[in-house]
Amino acid sequence: MLEIIKWSGTIICLIGTAVTNFNLYPYNIYCGFIGSCLWALAGFKQKDYALFSVEIVAVVMYSIGLGMLLK
C-alpha cells in the first residue's frame, strides 16, 4: 500500500509540474496539493520526519492557495 501512495504522489506531483509549465492554473494547485498530501502521508507512515515536514509545509502552502482560489 505504501508503494501505491508513493507512486501516486509522484505521478500527481509530476502532472502538477507539467500543468504549471503549461500555465494551466488552477489545476497545478490541485495536483500539487494532492501529490504533497500523499507524500506527507508516506513520510508519516515511514516515520521519515524530514520528508513529512517538507511535504506538510507544502500542503499548508497549497491550502492557502486553494483558500484564496475558492474565496
Q: Report pLDDT digits (tens) over 37-54.
A: 999 999 999 999 999 999
Whose grid coordinates read 508503494? Answer: 3
C-alpha cell at 17: 509540474
Q: Give the dihedral of Cα atoms 19, 27, 1, 58; nearest 10 deg.
A: 90
**Three-class secondary structure of residue 26 per DSSP:** coil
Break the chain into its structural domains and give their ranges.
Answer: 2-70
The percent of residues above 90 in pLDDT, for the chain, comes to 96
Say yes or no to pLDDT of 61 above 90.
Answer: yes
H or E element: which one contains 30? helix 27-45
